[in-house]
Amino acid sequence: MMPLIAPMIHIKHPEAKCNASQESFVTSAPVEERRFHELFFTIGNATIIYHNRAKDFEPYEADYLEWLGGLPEKVRAGMEEKGFKECRSILSFTRYVMEKNDIGQEEFVRNLVGKAIYDEYLQICMK
């Protein structure tokens, strides 16, 4: 019997319950698929941290209006219906706010996980 090896999810999810769920999932996955899932969760968790950092920046109504201007017509109509307050947690808006403050998602994630892991992710997961 093969010994169980702890999953190598390098960046943990901000919520402990999610960490346990991710580790359980990776451990129960077929051995040949585990690295894919480890990388997928690592990048996903880093992306969650990125979006959570948007809370460090107070978006303004003007940011919301600029963001709306770049959306496709049907999507824009839906976001206008939701309004500024509700859209503050929409991922594409939080990314817009972060990038407006010179914090790009790809660079943030790459710096957080490290170049080697990020490159491995691209090689394995983006085939």
CA 31 – CA 34 distance, rounded (Å): 5
CA 127 – CA 123 distance, rounded (Å): 7
Task: For helices 31-53 and 16-28, give the axis angle rounded to 10 degrees.
Answer: 160
Q: What is the pLDDT along the chain (127 residues), one digit of tens a residue?
A: 444 455 689 999 999 999 999 999 999 999 999 999 999 999 999 999 999 998 889 899 999 999 999 999 999 999 999 999 999 999 999 999 999 999 999 999 999 999 999 999 999 877 6
Q: Indicate the pTM of the whole model.
A: 0.83
